[in-house]
Structures are given as C-alpha cells and as structure tokens.
Amino acid sequence: MNQRTGANATAPRTGESALAELQREHGRALFGFLLGLSYGDRQRAEDLVQETLVRAWRHPEALETDHESMRPWLFTVGRRLAIDARRARQARPTEVAADSVAQTPLADDHSETSSTTLDVRDAVRTLSREHREVLVQIYFRGLSVAEASEALGIPPGTVKSRTYYALRALRKVLPGYGAKAF
C-alpha cells in the first residue's frame, strides 16, 4: 500500500494479492448470485461482480474483520449494487426503437391538430418577448431550465418564474384548452 500525506493523499487500497484471493474464493458464487438478481443477464452480472470487487479494493477495512468469510459482505454489496442498477434503469423512460415510430399509423384527421397549433401560435404572439423566449427554449427547443438559463443569459429562477407566468397568461388566452395543451 502506498499512502501519501497532504492534499494529494490517496486512500488506502486493498492489495492486489488479497483482491485476487477474494476473486478466486468467492467470484463464482458471487457471479451466480448476481446472475439471478440480473435475470440471467450475464454481462450485467459480470459488471456487478467487477463493481463489487472495486468496492472491496476501495475499502480494505472491510476485509479486516474477525469473520470467517467475506462472502456475506460481498453478497450484500453486490445485492445493493444490483438494486441501485435496477432503480436507475427504471427511472429512465422506456426507449422506443426508431423503426417502431416509423410504423406508427398517422391519425386520419389532422384538422383538430392544425387548429390547435394555430390557436397556440396566436396565443404565444400575445406574450411579452421575455415570456415568449423562455417558452421557445423550454417547450419548443426542449432545453432544461439550466440550459435555457445559459442560452438566455438569465438566472434559472427567472426562467422558472417567466415560464410559470407565460403559461398562466396562455391559459387565460386559451381557456378552452385547459391542461391538455400545456
């Protein structure tokens, strides 16, 4: 282990031989356990094993226990990593393949959509320049508040405030559309 002091100090790490021993002793069992948690996805299970061993490498103090085996600790870390990975995947919106979008049938009647578009355009023209700019950035260009803030050169709070008041003004001008249009 190589430790330095001062601002550039590196944290202690598990030795290479100890890590190799962990892999030899528990690697197969850990892989099998994580394979079950990843519904048979071998690549994901391998990634989880690797990340679990990285945690063991970063936390040598975990290996310095009175326990006979490190397997329970490794399984606990691996299980938590699998849960975190599953939650991260569930938080993302479902991806749609480009070819499935191309195969989606178009609506037969576009007159209602066209009418709504014209009404919204007319209503947007009634807004102040500042409110219009914010809506263009947020809704038409799809920027986040932070990105719109940077593009317009105004604070994020101002972007939020202008968006709120712009939508409020549009609801007054377009009372028949309610929440559907916005």
| CATH value at residue 172 | 1.10.10.10
pTM of the shown model: 0.45
Say how far apart CA 140 and CA 142 lie, in whole Å: 6
- Crossing angle of helices 156-173 and 111-125, in 10° steps, is 120
The maximal CA–CA distance of the chain, rounded, in angstroms, is 75
Query: pLDDT (tens digit, 9 = 90+) per residue, 137-168?
Result: 998 888 999 999 999 999 999 999 999 999 89
Average pLDDT, the chain: 81
Residue 118 lies in a domain: yes
166's tokens: 């712009």
The highest-confidence range among 80-84, 95-99, 170-174, by mean pLDDT, is: 80-84
pLDDT at 177: 61
Q: Are 32 and 80 contained in the same domain?
A: yes
Nearest residue to 53 (alpha-carbon basis) of 89, 28, 86: 28
Q: Are 87 and 146 contained in the same domain?
A: no
14's tokens: 């598990």
Nearest residue to 47 (alpha-carbon basis) of 98, 2, 5, 86: 86
Is pLDDT at 1 greater than 50 in this prediction? no
Is pLDDT at 7 greater than 90 in this prediction? no
Domain endpoint, select from 63, 91, 119: 91
pLDDT at 181: 47
Higher pLDDT pick, 151 / 59:
151
| CATH value at residue 64 | 1.10.1740.10
Query: pLDDT (tens digit, 9 = 90+) per residue, 86-120?
Result: 888 778 776 666 666 666 666 566 666 777 777 77
Residue 105 lies in a domain: no
Q: What share of the chain is helix, strand, coil (3-state, %, to 5)?
A: 70, 0, 30
pLDDT at 5: 43
Provide the 3-class DSSP secondary structure of residue 168: helix
Nearest residue to 174 (alpha-carbon basis) of 134, 115, 129: 115
Mean local confidence (pLDDT), 72-98? 83
Q: Which domain covers residue 123, as residue numbers?
A: 111-180
